[in-house]
């Protein structure tokens, strides 16, 4: 058995040597279909003659005798049945296309390929829209048909030119350099075509069939499936474009030199298509069957995709080499660029994705005992009214929670939520007010750009406590690169608001003024009389004039505030007490703080400290806007507002009175945003505001370290 194997290996070695020698003979001969056919015939003839000679001698001796008898191409051609002068005709290169002309032709063809592929994908998308509109919006179907017709007309021009050029290329001869170019490009696009088949099938299952499976077998709604389909359709469209482009490009080179072998290449195309489909169907079937036992079905498809990629890579390294001239070509610069792009795109996608690592803790949060009050909402005005069932009404002020929502920030997110719960459980408030920066979608610090998952997590957390809550936006809640913009985040909040959750007092109707949300919450006594108006005013984020150039409360917001105060006063027949909550401090906070540090009697100190930015980003005593707001002066003039409450500065937590209005910094919760703040303790906590039935109020600071 060992001897037979050795003989077989020697025979293969000799056949390979014959193939190599014949290839060398044709090295300087221009390529044509006739030459390619002649090369194959000569190889066959030499192998047949070799088999005859080796019957009575060793393979090496037989090979030596063969090559001595057929040492010239003309002799080999004669053995294969060609005339002796045919080789001279093969050598003539007057009609052979050189590489410069070939590259120019290929460049033109590739432009037609890209144009054709792009419009084919667009037409396909219009067909999908046509089918959808036939059932949902029949009136739009005619528009889709018209667009499809225009697409087909546009496609016909480059496609016809492409096909005519390919037809005219039949029988072309190519010089040695041009042939090598064709051979390398044929390898390149054959490999790309095989991989693009796997890519398309993988994308289809991950982004389409996975959603479709859960729609059919799970609890997904048709609207949800359609939304996800069109949201992720860009991935399918790109994959189809790549496949079409590679099919048409590979045809250019295989048409000219017939490599790789059409029959063998077809077998590989069928094989990788069937394998990819079976794999995708198998993963989908498994996930659907086990869907009730799987917490996050999407993770199954993610892991299956990684395994699928590894399997395709193994195929590329092993089986694919049988039909390639050069199976693996190492291009270090290109690999480095692709890797960098892949890492960047993957990182960006991961940072924008929802992550619910704190969910197990959120699910375990129990209801906190609290007073039950009557809550009404006016759809016309967007005002929530809370009629207190007790003489005292307690408001817990939280700020700068800074939930990152990523695996990297999980530990700190958990600490932040537990800190919030400790404050809520200790105070048993009637209402919680958060003055901004609930989320922290700043990728550098949190490794997350997602600003919806933190919102949904905190909303779920508060829903479990059972305590009503409201909030103002902060500068970090809608960062520029965040996954959701202002309008999208507004829609998220509305979907989580009172009619759905029973706890979040977010207005479905908002005034048409500057800001992402401005609202009024009325607190009424047990007899229905107005006690206090709570204003949630957006201090906005950045002016756009540079890094950390903070915005302010604009004039139209102040005018809206003044109008609402006057309405309350008119209803009550007297000046109604009010409080204003926002994120970025007014400039008066800075003025009052400086006066206090100077020992001025113009301010009254209650508690806390203002150590400034604590050596952080700005080193400012108070991080307010460079632009003044008329908010303070208007409040002073109206005489209604007795307290301002803000956050933003993290370490600042003092409460001082200036010109009769109390200016209070909230103790921050933040474990994530400020460098080193996780280890700091004395600035972390909350404030409890207690409204009495005569509209007077008390305020106490509750440091976290004092209750844990």
Whether 165 shows a pLDDT value over 50: the answer reads yes
- For 240, the enclosing helix (H) or strand (E) is helix 222-257
Q: Encode burial over 290-322: b for 16+ CB neighbours within 10 A, e otherwise.
A: eeeeeeebeebbeebbeebeeebeebbeeebee
Lowest mean pLDDT across 236-250, 348-362, 465-479, 490-504: 348-362
Q: Please give the pLDDT value at position 330.
A: 76
Span of 182-196, 278-292, 382-396 with lowest mean pLDDT: 278-292
pLDDT mean over 576-587: 97
Most confident of 256-260, 477-481, 632-636: 632-636
Report the pLDDT value the prediction gives residue 418, as an integer from 0 to 100: 97
pLDDT at 582: 98
Q: What is the pLDDT of residue 617?
A: 44
Please tell me the predicted confidence (pLDDT) of residue 615: 46
Residue 214 has pLDDT above 60, yes or no: no
Residue 298 has a pLDDT of 61
- C-alpha to C-alpha distances, 160 to 126, 151, 154, 156, 643, nearest whole angstrom: 22, 14, 11, 6, 75
- Give the DSSP H or E segment for 267: helix 262-289
Q: What is the pLDDT of residues 114-125, one digit of tens each?
A: 999 999 999 888
Q: What is the mean pLDDT of residues 217-222?
A: 50
pTM of this prediction?
Answer: 0.61
**Lookup: tokens for 183:** 């051979």
Least trusted range by pLDDT, from 12-16, 382-386, 632-636, 700-704: 12-16
State the pLDDT at residue 212: 56
Task: Select the more confidently predicted residue: 481 or 369.
Answer: 369
Q: Which long-range contacts (CB under 8 A, 24 or more apart) does 300-308 make?
A: 301/205, 301/206, 301/210, 302/206, 304/279, 305/202, 305/206, 308/198, 308/202, 308/276, 308/279
Q: Which helix (H) or strand (E) holds 570?
A: helix 555-572
Among residues 325, 182, 155, which one has the least CA distance to residue 255?
182
pLDDT one-digit tens code per residue, 510-533: 999 999 999 999 999 999 999 999
- % pLDDT > 70, the chain: 89
- Quick one: pLDDT at residue 673? 87
The predicted-structure confidence for 614-626, as pLDDT tens digits, reads as follows 544 445 789 999 9
Q: Do the beta carbons of residue 665 and residue 653 sit within 8 Å?
A: yes
The vertex-84 CA angle with 81 and 85, nearest 5°, equals: 125
Give the highest mean pLDDT range of 32-36, 355-359, 428-432: 428-432
H or E element that contains 465: helix 453-465
**469-472 and 603-607 strand pairing:** unpaired
* pLDDT at residue 345 tops 70: no
Summarize pLDDT for 15-33 with one digit per residue, the tens. 778 888 888 888 778 888 8
The answer for residues whose C-beta is within 8 angstroms of residue 674's C-beta and 6 or more apart is 614, 616, 650, 651
For 203-207, 342-346, 594-598, which range has the lowest pLDDT when averaged over its residues? 342-346
Distance CA 621, CA 39 (A): 85
Please name which of 617, 534, 511 lies closest in space to residue 581, comparing C-alpha atoms: 534
| pLDDT at residue 333 in the model | 80
pLDDT in the model for residue 613: 54
Distance CA 473, CA 514 (A): 12
Query: Which percentage of the chain shows pLDDT scores above 90?
Result: 55
Per-residue model confidence (pLDDT) at position 223: 54
Which residue has better confidence, 472 or 335? 472
What is the CATH architecture of 359-367+374-706? 4-Layer Sandwich (3.60)
Where are the domains positioned within the chain?
A: 2-91, 96-329, 359-367+374-706
Which of 21, 64, 61, 62 shows the shortest CA–CA distance to 42? 21
pLDDT top residue among 269 and 39: 269
Spatial distance between the Cα atoms of 325 and 338, rounded to a whole number of angstroms = 23
Q: What tens digit of pLDDT does each residue of 642-691 get?
A: 999 999 999 999 999 999 999 999 999 999 988 889 998 999 999 999 99
Mean pLDDT (the chain, rounded): 87
Q: What angle do CA 38, 18, 261 make, to 5 degrees?
A: 50
pLDDT category, 2, cuts 50, 70, 90?
A: very low
pLDDT confidence of residue 1: 44
Task: Specify whether the backbone of 641 is left (phi greater than 0), alpha (psi in -120 to 50) or beta.
Answer: beta
Which two three-digit tokens encode residue 338?
């692709």
Is a pLDDT exceeding 60 seen at residue 596? yes
Is the pLDDT confidence value at 83 over 90? no
Residue 346, pLDDT score: 63
Question: What are the tens digits of pLDDT across the range 297-337?
Answer: 666 777 888 899 899 999 999 999 989 888 887 777 877 87
Nearest alpha-carbon partner for 415 in 700, 702, 617, 680: 680
Region class of 403: left (phi > 0), else alpha (psi between -120 and 50), else beta: beta
Per-residue pLDDT, averaged over 152-171, amounts to 90
Cα 376 versus chain centre, distance: 39
Q: What is the pLDDT of residue 600?
A: 95
């Amino acid at each position: 058995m060992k001897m037979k194997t050795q003989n077989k290996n020697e025979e293969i070695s000799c056949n390979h040597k014959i193939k190599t020698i014949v290839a060398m003979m044709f090295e300087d001969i221009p390529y044509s279909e006739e030459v390619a056919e002649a090369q194959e015939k000569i190889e066959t003839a030499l192998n047949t003659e070799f088999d005859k000679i080796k019957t009575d001698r060793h393979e090496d001796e037989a090979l030596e005798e063969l090559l001595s008898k057929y040492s010239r191409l003309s002799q080999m051609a004669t053995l294969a049945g060609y005339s002796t002068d045919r080789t001279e005709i093969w050598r003539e290169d007057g009609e052979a296309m050189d590489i410069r002309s070939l590259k120019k032709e290929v460049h033109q063809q590739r432009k037609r390929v890209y144009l054709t592929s792009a419009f084919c994908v667009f037409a396909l998308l219009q067909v999908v829209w046509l089918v959808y509109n036939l059932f949902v919006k029949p009136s739009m179907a005619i528009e889709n048909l018209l667009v499809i017709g225009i697409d087909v007309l546009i496609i016909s021009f480059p496609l016809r030119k492409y096909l005519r050029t390919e037809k005219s290329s039949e029988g072309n001869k190519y010089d040695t350099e041009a042939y090598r170019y064709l051979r390398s490009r044929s390898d390149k696009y054959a490999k790309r075509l095989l991989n693009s088949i796997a890519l398309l099938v993988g994308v289809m299952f991950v982004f389409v069939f996975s959603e479709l499976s859960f729609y059919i077998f799970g609890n997904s709604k048709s609207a949800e499936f359609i939304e996800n389909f069109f949201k992720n359709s860009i991935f399918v469209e790109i994959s189809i474009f790549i496949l079409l482009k590679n099919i048409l490009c590979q045809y250019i080179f295989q048409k000219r030199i017939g490599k790789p072998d059409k029959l063998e290449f077809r077998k590989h195309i069928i094989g990788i298509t069937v394998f990819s489909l079976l794999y995708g169907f198998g993963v989908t079937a498994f996930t659907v069957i086990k869907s009730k036992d799987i917490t996050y079905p999407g993770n199954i498809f993610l892991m299956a995709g990684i395994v699928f990629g590894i399997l395709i890579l193994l195929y590329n390294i092993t089986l694919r080499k049988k039909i390639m001239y050069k199976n693996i070509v190492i291009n270090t610069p290109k690999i480095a660029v692709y890797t960098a792009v892949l890492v960047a795109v993957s990182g960006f996608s991961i940072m924008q994705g929802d992550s619910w690592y704190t969910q197990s803790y959120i699910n375990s949060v129990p209801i906190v005992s609290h007073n039950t009050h009557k809550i009404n909402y006016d759809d016309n005005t967007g005002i929530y009214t809370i009629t207190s069932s007790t003489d005292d009404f307690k408001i817990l002020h939280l700020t700068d929670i800074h939930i990152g929502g990523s695996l990297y920030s999980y530990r700190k997110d958990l600490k932040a939520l537990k800190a919030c719960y400790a404050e809520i459980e200790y105070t048993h408030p009637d209402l919680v007010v958060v003055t901004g920066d609930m989320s922290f979608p700043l990728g550098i610090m949190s490794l997350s750009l997602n600003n919806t998952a933190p919102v949904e997590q905190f909303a779920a957390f508060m829903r479990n406590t059972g305590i009503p809550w409201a909030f103002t936006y902060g500068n970090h809640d809608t960062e520029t690169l965040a996954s959701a913009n202002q309008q999208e985040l507004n829609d998220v909040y509305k979907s989580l608001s009172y009619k759905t959750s029973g706890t979040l007092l977010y207005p479905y109707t908002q005034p048409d003024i500057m800001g992402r949300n401005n609202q009024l919450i009325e607190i009424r006594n047990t007899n229905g009389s107005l006690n206090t108006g709570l204003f949630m005013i957006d201090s906005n984020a950045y002016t756009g004039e540079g890094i950390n150039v903070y915005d302010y409360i604009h004039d139209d917001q102040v005018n809206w505030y003044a109008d609402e105060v006057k309405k309350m006063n008119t209803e009550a027949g007297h000046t109604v007490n009010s409080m204003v909550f926002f994120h970025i401090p007014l400039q008066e906070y800075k003025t009052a703080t400086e006066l206090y540090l100077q020992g001025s009697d113009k301010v009254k100190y209650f508690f806390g400290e203002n150590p400034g930015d604590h050596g952080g980003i700005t080193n400012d005593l108070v991080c307010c806007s460079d632009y003044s707001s008329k908010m303070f002066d208007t409040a002073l003039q109206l005489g209604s507002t007795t307290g301002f409450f803000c956050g933003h500065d993290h370490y600042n937590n003092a409460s001082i009175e200036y010109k009769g209005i109390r200016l209070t910094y909230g103790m921050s919760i933040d474990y994530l945003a400020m460098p080193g703040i996780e280890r700091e303790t004395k600035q972390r906590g909350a404030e409890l505001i207690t409204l009495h039935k005569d509209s007077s109020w008390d305020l106490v600071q509750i440091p976290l370290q004092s209750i844990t």
